[in-house]
């Protein structure tokens, strides 16, 4: 095996005068890093109206996924290597996919399954059966709720979160998006409500609730506290992509969800003060929700593979949205792409290549329990005495994948660290063959 353990990995390490103190991941962040790829399910009233952002005045009875089967949705996702799934329990339209006590704008008001359906329950249970972790998306913006914009809505939002975080077992991730405020139904008012993104939600209070109810869950938003938005919805991390970061608003002041310098979210800061790695959310289709007329525009396996290298390969995680259709299942086009992506991952990454065999992909990892220590390094190979440089990298962190663009053979492979901010702790240097 051409891996670090058997072959090498040595490094020219700068000498340090004092012990470094770099940000390090929490146990909940470490669990998340190991997942690499997770699935997003955008499913709800929009699936039936054809919209991306529902106004909040939809008739709940439109929700009629006649063949809904959470197990059938999750099987192709798990086969494609997804290790967790996050469901849009409530999108901006305010329609709740579980029988919440907080509003009638929910699944109970649909005749589907006689008003007894609970999509959150079905997905959470099916995830556990498949060995996937389960996470929740709860839109802070609610275009249906009459109280949106007042303090009372914050109480309602927290009650909804409490229902989700206490009634559905272990939650690995809580997702708060940044789209906040604007036109809506708001109980019939049909008006525009603008909120102060920095103060209205009292995010620290909501995050404290999540910590209390689900201490193992990572919290995602534009500003963390555990995971940061990567700054685009194309699924592409910056290069470099540092796990450390300090969110800043466009005006240089304190950032808030929906009010952050997105460009810098992509790269993070080399010497940022928080461990706040990037999550790359992207849809397999042009839209987040399923639309019939987008069936021919599902990303191909090759496009998903490229995204994998541009996200996971740069040390971020990929959150891939695959929206269920009106039947309550994944469409054939999406399943075909997932299958191709999964086959590629198995074929390429199941085993590192043996010594002397051909390879064209390199994977290096730092032991991030000690922080992100390496600033810059080169990958070198040797078939005799001389070492030849085949790649250079900056940020590594949890992982860096390098596609070499040509096949090579080598007896030895090493990572030579050119610059680091503390003595490097290398977890892996391995070679793979993509075909
Ligand atoms: C955004 C939302 O506005 C989109 O509809 C989608 O849910 C995306 C993942 O997050 O903030």
Domain extents in the chain: 4-22+352-432, 36-349
* pLDDT over 60 (residue 9): no
Query: Percentage of the chain with pLDDT > 90?
Result: 93
Nearest CA to ligand 1 atom 4: 288
Q: Does the CB atom of residue 220 touch ligand 1 within 6 A?
A: no
Rounded-to-integer distance, Cα 96 and Cα 17, Å? 56
Range in 52-66, 148-162, 171-185, 328-342 with the lowest mean pLDDT: 171-185
Q: Does the CB atom of residue 93 touch ligand 1 within 6 A?
A: no
CB 199 within 8 A of CB 206: no
pLDDT classification of 16: cutoffs 50, 70, 90 = very low
What pLDDT does 20 receive? 60
What pLDDT does 21 receive? 84
pTM: 0.95
CB 98 within 8 A of CB 121: yes
What pLDDT does 395 receive? 98
CA atoms within 13 A on the CB side of 167: 18
Rounded-to-integer distance, Cα 322 and Cα 77, Å? 8
How many angstroms separate the Cα of 49 from the Cα of each of 112, 289, 291, 292, 337? 16, 10, 9, 11, 25
Ligand 1 pocket: which of 177, 180, 259 to mutate (most atoms <8 Å of CB)?
A: 177
Ligand 1 centroid distance, CA of 434 (Å):
33
CB 206 within 8 A of CB 158: yes
Q: Does the CB atom of residue 288 touch ligand 1 within 6 A?
A: yes
Tens-place pLDDT, residues 34-81: 999 999 999 999 999 999 999 999 999 999 999 999 999 999 999 999
pLDDT classification of 18: cutoffs 50, 70, 90 = very low
What pLDDT does 179 receive? 81
Strand partners, 388: 381
Mean pLDDT of 111-136: 98
Q: Does the CB atom of residue 177 touch ligand 1 within 6 A?
A: yes
Nearest CA to ligand 1 atom 6: 288
pLDDT classification of 201: cutoffs 50, 70, 90 = very high
CATH hierarchy code of domain 36-349: 3.20.20.80
Tens-place pLDDT, residues 351-402: 999 999 999 999 999 999 999 999 999 999 999 989 999 999 999 999 999 9
Place of tokens 């036109």: 183
Ligand 1 centroid distance, CA of 307 (Å):
19
Rounded-to-integer distance, Cα 407 and Cα 362, Å? 11
Q: DSSP 3-state assignment of 286?
A: coil
* pLDDT over 60 (residue 171): yes
| Backbone phi, psi, residue 240, to 5° | -75, 165
Strand partners, 174: 136, 219
Tens-place pLDDT, residues 252-289: 999 999 999 989 999 999 999 999 999 999 999 999 99
Ligand 1 centroid distance, CA of 46 (Å):
12
What pLDDT does 33 receive? 98
What pLDDT does 341 receive? 99
- Beta strand residue intervals within 66-151, DSSP E: 84-90, 133-138
C-alpha closest to that of 318 among 122, 32, 4: 32
Q: Does the CB atom of residue 281 touch ligand 1 within 6 A?
A: yes
User: What is the DSSP code (8-state) at residue 400?
Assistant: E
Ligand 1 pocket: which of 45, 135, 179 to mutate (most atoms <8 Å of CB)?
A: 179
Ligand 1 centroid distance, CA of 52 (Å):
9
Q: Does the CB atom of residue 279 touch ligand 1 within 6 A?
A: no
* pLDDT over 90 (residue 403): yes
Mean pLDDT of the chain: 95
The terminus-to-terminus CA distance of the chain in angstroms comes to: 18
How many angstroms separate the Cα of 31 from the Cα of each of 35, 138, 228, 317, 368? 7, 22, 16, 12, 12
Q: Does the CB atom of residue 178 touch ligand 1 within 6 A?
A: yes
What pLDDT does 385 receive? 86
Note if the bond before 240 is cis, omega within 30 degrees: yes
Rounded-to-integer distance, Cα 265 and Cα 32, Å? 18
Ligand 1 centroid distance, CA of 285 (Å):
13
* pLDDT over 60 (residue 19): no
Q: DSSP 3-state assignment of 136?
A: strand
Nearest CA to ligand 1 atom 3: 179
Please enumerate in sequence order all residues whose Cβ is within 8 A of that of 176, keeping only pairs 6 or more positions apart, or say none: 138, 140, 203, 206, 219, 220, 221, 257
Residue 102 burial (C-beta neighbours within 10 Å; 0-12, 13-18, 19+):
middle
Which CATH superfamily is 4-22+352-432 part of? Answer: Galactose-binding domain-like (2.60.120.260)
Query: Structure tokens of 10?
Result: 């040595």
How many angstroms separate the Cα of 48 from the Cα of each of 40, 61, 291, 297, 397? 18, 10, 9, 19, 42
What pLDDT does 1 receive? 40
| Backbone phi, psi, residue 340, to 5° | -60, -40
| Residue 173 Rama label (left phi>0; alpha psi -120 to 50; beta) | beta
* pLDDT over 70 (residue 31): yes
* pLDDT over 50 (residue 26): yes
């Amino acid at each position: 095996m051409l891996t670090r353990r058997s072959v090498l990995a040595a490094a020219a390490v700068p000498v340090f005068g004092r012990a470094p103190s770099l940000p390090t991941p929490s146990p909940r962040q470490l669990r998340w890093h190991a997942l690499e790829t997770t699935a997003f399910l955008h499913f709800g009233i929009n699936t039936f109206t054809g919209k991306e952002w529902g106004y909040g005045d939809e008739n709940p009875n439109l929700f009629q996924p006649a063949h809904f089967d959470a197990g059938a949705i999750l099987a192709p996702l798990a086969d494609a290597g997804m290790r967790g799934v996050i469901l849009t329990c409530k999108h901006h339209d305010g329609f709740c996919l579980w029988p919440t006590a907080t509003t009638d704008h929910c699944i109970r008001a649909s005749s589907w399954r006689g008003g007894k359906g609970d999509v959150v329950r079905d997905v959470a249970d099916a995830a556990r059966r498949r060995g996937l972790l389960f996470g929740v998306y709860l839109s802070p913006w609610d275009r249906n709720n009459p109280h949106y914009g007042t303090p009372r809505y914050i109480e309602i939002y927290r009650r909804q979160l409490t229902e989700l975080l206490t009634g559905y077992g272990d939650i690995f991730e809580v997702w708060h998006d940044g789209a906040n405020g604007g036109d809506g139904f708001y109980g019939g008012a049909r008006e525009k409500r603008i909120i102060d993104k920095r103060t209205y939600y009292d995010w620290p209070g909501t995050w404290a609730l999540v910590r209390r109810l689900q201490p193992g869950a990572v919290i995602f938003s534009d500003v963390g506290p555990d995971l940061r938005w990567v700054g685009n919805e194309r699924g592409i991390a910056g290069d470099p992509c540092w796990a450390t970061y300090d969110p800043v608003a466009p005006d240089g002041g304190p950032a808030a969800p929906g009010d952050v310098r997105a460009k810098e979210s992509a790269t993070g800061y080399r010497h940022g003060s928080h461990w706040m790695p990037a999550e790359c959310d992207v849809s397999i289709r042009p839209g987040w929700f399923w639309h019939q007329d987008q069936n021919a525009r599902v990303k191909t396996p090759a496009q998903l593979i490229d995204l994998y290298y541009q996200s996971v390969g740069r040390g971020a995680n990929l959150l891939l949205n695959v929206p269920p259709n009106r039947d309550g299942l994944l469409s054939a086009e999406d399943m075909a792409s997932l299958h191709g992506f999964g086959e590629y991952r198995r074929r390429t990454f199941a085993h590192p290549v043996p010594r002397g065999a051909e390879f064209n992909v390199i994977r290096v990892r730092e032991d991030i329990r000690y922080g992100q220590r390496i600033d810059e390094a080169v990958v070198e190979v040797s078939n005799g005495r001389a070492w030849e440089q085949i790649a250079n990298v900056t940020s590594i962190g949890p992982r860096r994948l390098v596609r070499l663009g040509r096949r090579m053979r080598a007896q030895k492979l090493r990572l030579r660290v050119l610059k680091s901010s503390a003595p490097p702790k290398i977890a892996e240097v391995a070679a793979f063959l993509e075909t």
